[in-house]
């Protein structure tokens, strides 16, 4: 009689289910629109480097590039009008564009950062309409996931910014990077961007000074009024010169 051996047990250690991907964002917002290579090239050719900062990975990096000269494309005329069709950045730009919400959230004068005026009002009025909840902490978490940085000192203390969220230029939000896992980083107030200096040397298109000619007199006047060094301002002006201009000589 032939012996029949016991059936072999499956080795659970040999085949393991692939690890589940961790969700980086609990948001139900639609994904950001994809950007074509042509648009990416357009982005890099119309930028001005304001400052480059090297920091350890545990410290906030406040390198800043000015994208205000990047033009919109034909597809930007088809931006969503309904809140439920907007991604996170489009929602943020939408609420900042509404006069009836300035008591809760508003642009700062230079248009390169925004501030939550009264968190309790924002939580009660804005969050339900745009996100379907009343949790201010969840909104702050989303800002961190999407790469927004905080100003920790000076006139703009407590404000949030991204180089690609600029007043009057909603088309720039399509270039926003994908959300990353949120990490608490050490603040670096010494290297935070000086938005009032940036406003002077690179005003946004909706700024009344957008097409002005910078003269030595206007530079000295700005320095005197804002306590800046003329040498530092001249250096920043040279650094912020559009790359296209440099290639023409």
DSSP states along 204-228: -TTSTTTTPPP-HHHHHHHHHHHT-
pLDDT tens column, 202-228? 889 888 766 666 677 777 777 776 777
Average of per-residue pLDDT values in the chain: 80
31-81 tens-digit pLDDT: 444 444 445 556 667 888 888 999 899 999 999 999 999 998 888 878 888
CB 127 within 8 A of CB 135: yes
pLDDT surpassing 50 at residue 170: yes
Q: Answer positive or negative: Cα dihedral of 48, 41, 94, 30.
A: negative
- pLDDT of 126 reads 97
pLDDT tier, 127 (very low <50, low <70, confident <90, very high otherwise):
very high
C-alpha closest to that of 29 among 100, 131, 104: 131
What is the per-residue pLDDT across 176-210, written as a single tens digit (0 to 9) for each? 988 887 788 899 999 999 999 888 888 898 887 66
| Structural domains in the chain plus CATH codes | 37-70+77-191 (1.10.10.10)
Q: What is the DSSP letter of 84?
A: G
């Amino acid at each position: 009689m032939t012996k029949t051996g016991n059936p072999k047990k499956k080795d659970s250690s040999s085949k393991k289910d692939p690890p589940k991907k961790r969700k980086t964002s609990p948001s139900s917002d639609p994904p950001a629109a994809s950007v074509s290579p042509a648009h990416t090239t357009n982005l890099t050719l119309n930028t001005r480097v304001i400052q480059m900062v090297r920091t350890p990975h545990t410290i906030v990096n406040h390198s800043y590039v000015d994208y205000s000269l990047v033009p919109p494309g034909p597809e930007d005329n088809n931006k969503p009008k309904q809140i439920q069709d907007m991604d996170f950045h489009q929602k943020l730009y939408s609420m900042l564009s509404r006069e009836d919400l300035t008591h809760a959230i508003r642009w700062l004068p230079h248009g390169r950062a925004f501030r939550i005026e009264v968190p309790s009002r924002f939580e009660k009025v804005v969050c339900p309409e745009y996100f379907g909840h009343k949790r201010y902490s969840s909104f702050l978490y989303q800002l961190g996931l999407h790469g927004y940085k905080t100003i920790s000192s000076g006139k703009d203390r407590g404000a949030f910014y991204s180089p690609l969220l600029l007043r009057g230029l909603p088309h720039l939000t399509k270039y926003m990077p994908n959300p990353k896992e949120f990490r608490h980083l050490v603040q670096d107030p010494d290297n935070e961007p000086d938005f009032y200096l940036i406003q002077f040397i690179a005003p946004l298109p909706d700024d009344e000074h957008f097409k002005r000619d910078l003269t030595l007199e206007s530079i000295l006047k700005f320095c005197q009024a804002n306590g800046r060094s003329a040498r530092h301002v001249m250096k920043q002006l040279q650094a912020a010169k559009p790359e296209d201009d440099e290639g023409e000589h």
